[in-house]
Amino acid sequence: MHRTLAALATLAVALLMTAHVQPQDMPKVEWTMDLAKAKIPDSPVSGKVHGKNFKIVFAAHEKGSLIFRIAQGKEAPEESIDINFFNTLKPGDTLEGRKFEFSPEKFNPKDPGVIITSLQPKMDLPKKEIVIPGEYALKLEFGKRKNGVIPGKIFFANKDKATYVAGKFELKTE
């Protein structure tokens, strides 16, 4: 009896520790490749990454990339979307006050490349997908810096319909 209770208690703790983004915790994000129809909810970034629920933990800007990640209770992020502005921005350019729109209809080879990463069941290494310009829709807006934070909004949808996120974020600056 004690072993059964101990096993159930251990299972309950494990479930609580691994419970992460639940659909009822997230606003509905609709997949579309049409930026005119893309809606950005007035809530933190959420949606799906490789079909898994996604809710932003932090946004970071490092070496020309804007990175959105979720940690889900582990040290290493489980899902991320990296938007690489290497061909779009020049060294020293700021994201503050900028707006970007990239769509399949009006793509340019110099549009950002995107890398989508997620942990998948029964896989030792994360699944990585490189998305080239023309295969995604992206609307990205950065506000004015205040107290070391740049507010922003994003809508991103991949052509595969398994990755789409939208919402607000805060980009902490130095």
- Residues 99 and 80: their CA atoms lie apart, in Å, by 21
- The pLDDT tens digits for 114-165 are 999 888 888 888 889 999 999 999 999 999 999 989 999 999 999 999 999 9
| Mean pLDDT across the chain | 78
Task: Identify the residue with better confidence: 93 or 5.
Answer: 93
Res 110: pLDDT: 87
- The pLDDT tens digits for 69-94 are 654 445 566 788 888 887 777 777 78
Kindly report the pTM of this predicted structure: 0.79
Q: For residue 174, count CB atoms less than 10 angstroms from its CB and return exposed for 0-12, middle for 13-18, buried for 19 or more.
A: exposed
Find tokens 């101990």 and name the residue.
Answer: 6
User: Which of 168, 158, 172 has its CA nearest to residue 50?
Assistant: 158
Res 11: pLDDT: 24
Task: Identify the residue with better confidence: 64 or 156.
Answer: 156
* pLDDT of 98 strictly over 90: yes
Task: Identify the residue with better confidence: 88 or 65.
Answer: 88
Q: For residue 99, count CB atoms less than 10 angstroms from its CB and return exposed for 0-12, middle for 13-18, buried for 19 or more.
A: exposed
Contact 56, 167 (CB under 8 A): yes
The letter for the amino acid at 112 is: P
